[in-house]
Amino acid sequence: MSSAASTSLPQRRLVLAMFSRLRQRYRNRWTLVLLVLLVAFLSSLVLLRRSAAWDLPGLFSLLTPLPTDSSASSRFPPSKFKSAFISSAFYSSVEGGFNETIVQAWCQSQTRWRQDVALDPIIYGGIGNVRNDIISTLRYSIEAGVAIIGPFIIQRSPDLIEIDTKNDIDVSYLFDLAFMRSKLAHACPELRFFDSREDFEKTSTAPTVVIQATPRDLPQDEGPVTSISPALDAQPAPAGSNLRVIFPAPFAYLPICIDGAPFADSIGGFIPFRQDAQRLAAAVLCTLAWRYNPHLNFSSPASTPPAFFGAHLRTAADAKAAGFPGYDIQAPRYFEIAKAHNLTSVFLASGDYQSTKQFIAEGLLEDPPLYVMTKYDLLDPADLKLLDGMSWDQQALVDYLVLVASSYFAGVSASSFSANVMVKRRVSSVSGSCGEGFEGTATDTTYRDELSELVGEPKFSIFISNLYP
């Protein structure tokens, strides 16, 4: 059998399965005849496929309903509408919810700032891990009144297999570094940043003393370590020497509400994601609004956001190896949630290409049909080119921002990415960041509120209490 024929077998089986399901639903003979013709047409397209770009996800995206208004002659909004939407959405997501007063008060309460001590954090992993590690580093450095080197991110390998590559890059790889520095300079002017270890060491002529310390390893009679000041003060160092503290950032270590909900809700606002990712996410939302919002306000585009269900499907090989709930658990539950909230437009974020194809196809067979889209379906050619120029982790920022803006969100409890989306949305829930949502059973749901649900065993509930929004 030729390679082309063998690669088409899964697609043909999927089409035949679709036909079987459709036949059970539609008993009318003429309706069935039309469906047979449609299936034959789709099958021929699959068999004639010549490139990876021509595949079922793109094909099914053409079947999603477009606006019926005669002015909507394009799948993508006109530039004037798009520009207004993106401008408004960008301001709302970054400046609109930013509040520096709580962190400013924290900094003002710190009576001693040591310029001879700096945390040198070790930060790596996916964007959920990295974001929370940066926030934890900020929190402990302000508490101790010490400087920060970088911070830097240890870049993952392109295939995501190797997490610790020893390749340090600054946080602008994922975040808006200029925004972070300028806002912290105003709210916390005593907090100093050094661009490199060498810059820190040059502030003293004496040799720099290097130690390693992390809250996880410090002695504590009861509960988590909330202050590292005593441990730093206890370190002997020659007069005039600097102290560089290698700081393995304690991911999901400290319950965020230990400092109060206002602090937990506001400190993450100092590190928004990089601006190009924010713009692409706004472009995705703009297309969703343009296509599927029947009450679109053309004079204020972003004031009428689209209604859609956001799902994070985590079924890639590494997730399977780690024991995450499989496709057969995630997908059916996501379909149930979407229909329960009367949301037939679905935005899907997933790193698993085959599962994405299956999810799109099966969504169309639901009653009512669910029209599943990804960021690739909702960005115009120019924006797709920008997206293609990003790394895997940078592209994931777009998914994160779109999911945060969804009408209802569902993800998998074992994923820090899903949990980060949930805790970000939880700020706007009735219970807030430090309230309690529904806690499910071991076979049901880890967390649920009126905005989000995490599917899977509650053993990952530490994410719910220990990740910053």
What are the domain boundaries of the chain?
Answer: 1-54, 55-81+274-412, 98-256
CA dist., res. 464 & res. 439, Å (int): 10
Asked if residue 220 lies in contact with residue 250, where contact means CB atoms within 8 angstroms, the answer is no
Same fold, 55-81+274-412 and 98-256: yes
For residue 417, the model assigns a pLDDT of 95
Q: What percent of the chain has pLDDT over 70?
A: 75
For residue 91, the model assigns a pLDDT of 64
Mean pLDDT of 177-206: 94
Q: Does residue 442 surpass a pLDDT of 60?
A: no
Residue 211: strand pairing partners: 245
Most confident of 24-33, 35-44, 160-169, 369-378: 369-378
Cα–Cα distances (Å) from 305 to 184, 264, 294, 302, in that order, read 31, 27, 11, 6
Asked if residue 396 lies in contact with residue 127, where contact means CB atoms within 8 angstroms, the answer is yes
For residue 168, the model assigns a pLDDT of 86
Task: Give 207 or 436, the one with higher predicted confidence.
Answer: 207
What's the pLDDT band for 72 if we cut at 50, 70, 90? very low
Q: Which residues, 6+ apart, have CB-to-CB distance to 363 below 8 Å? A: 335, 346, 369, 370, 371, 372
For residue 49, the model assigns a pLDDT of 38
What's the pLDDT band for 81 if we cut at 50, 70, 90? confident
Helix residue ranges, H only, 245-367: 261-267, 275-292, 317-321, 327-340, 353-364
CA dist., res. 153 & res. 165, Å (int): 10
- Looking at the domain 98-256, which fold is it? Rossmann fold (3.40.50)
Task: Give 1 or 91, the one with higher predicted confidence.
Answer: 91
Q: Does residue 45 surpass a pLDDT of 60?
A: no
Cα–Cα distances (Å) from 402 to 245, 307, 315, 395, 422, in that order, read 37, 12, 20, 11, 12
- Looking at the domain 55-81+274-412, which fold is it? Rossmann fold (3.40.50)
CA dist., res. 467 & res. 106, Å (int): 20
Q: Does residue 399 surpass a pLDDT of 90?
A: yes
| pLDDT per position as a tens digit, 244-273 | 999 998 888 999 999 999 999 999 999 999
Asked if residue 247 lies in contact with residue 282, where contact means CB atoms within 8 angstroms, the answer is no
Q: What percent of the chain has pLDDT over 90?
A: 53
Q: Does residue 156 surpass a pLDDT of 50?
A: yes
Q: What rounded mean pLDDT belongs to the chain? A: 82
| pLDDT per position as a tens digit, 8-36 | 444 544 444 554 554 455 455 555 445 54
Cα–Cα distances (Å) from 466 to 137, 250, 254, 271, 426, in that order, read 14, 10, 6, 18, 13
Q: Does residue 299 surpass a pLDDT of 70?
A: no
CA dist., res. 230 & res. 103, Å (int): 22
